[in-house]
Amino acid sequence: MLRPFRQVDVFATTPYDGNPVAVVLDGGSLSSEQMQQFAHWTNLSETTFVLPPTVAEADYRVRIFTPVSELPFAGHPTLGTCHAWLSVNTPEPGRDVIIQECQAGLIPVRQTPQGLAFAAPPLVRSGPVEPKLIERIASLLDIAPTDIVDAQWVDNGPGWVAVLLASADAVLDIRPRPHELFLGVVGPYPAGAPQAFEVRAFFPKDGATVEDPVTGSLNASLADWLLRTGRARAPYIASQGTALGRRGRVHVTVDDDGVIWVGGATLTCVTGEVEL
């Protein structure tokens, strides 16, 4: 069966500078096994499947797959899926918020001057990281434990644990060893720089460790940590993907109700149909 398909670049203003997500706009009748098989075939960090919502408040439901497993939530797939959904659906006049249903719950997505932005979901795990794990992370990053300024569990679904280094340059210098963690690394740029932070994200895949070009879920949970501890002030821009030759830019804002919004540009790079 031919199904409408989009491949969307997320968090970049020019094509192929961000993080791509594959979006199957009609996932109806597909089994979980078929979805996983297709996600493994695309070999992108995430592939999504759009389905009818199960609650009246939602505009659509999405299932999110990495090449090896399903995720309850992920950031750049949320923005890319909403972008693809809007390419074939027109909301009622005056509506500026789209509601996505996923395993993590209902995620509002709105249009901003910088592009689509999602409301950061609540953390499922937070708090300080145990000292033995900090030592292990330092070893995996081939740095001294004293090079880690702070560490925090920042898990909003995928399982993120994050470490703060002294500078963006220190973040760009790391060369991680293979590991099984969902690991985020962040460091500040000097005052006055166009971006406030450099972010890198690493996760396991097929026995190896891969780097994600630009990661919405990690940036959302990092924002919660950095803003709460006074290390950042909103609005700010995070840079990610530099080490991979990408130019990802993640825009973080906070509204009057204290909700953190994470957004950026989205661009359709591939349009067509897939046989599924």
Q: At what angle do helices 75-86 and 216-228 cross, to 10 degrees?
A: 120
Residues 83 and 140: their CA atoms lie apart, in Å, by 36
Residues 6+ apart with CB under 8 A from 219: 75, 199, 238, 240, 250, 252, 262
Beta-sheet pairing, 197-205 with 115-119: unpaired
Taking every pair of Cα atoms in the chain, the longest distance, rounded to a whole number of angstroms, is 56
DSSP letter, residue 194: S
Could you check whether the bond before residue 235 is cis, i.e. omega within 30 degrees of 0?
yes
> One of 33, 46, 135, 211 is an active-site residue; which one?
46
Q: Which long-range contacts (C-beta less than 8 Å, at least 24 apart) are formed by 131-137?
A: 133/161, 134/163, 137/161, 137/163, 137/181, 137/183
Residues 85 and 27: their CA atoms lie apart, in Å, by 12
**Residue 9's beta-bridge partner residues?**
20, 267
The yes-or-no answer on residue 70 being catalytic is no
Residues 121 and 223: their CA atoms lie apart, in Å, by 12
Residues 209 and 74: their CA atoms lie apart, in Å, by 18
Residues 209 and 61: their CA atoms lie apart, in Å, by 30
Residues classed as catalytic: 46
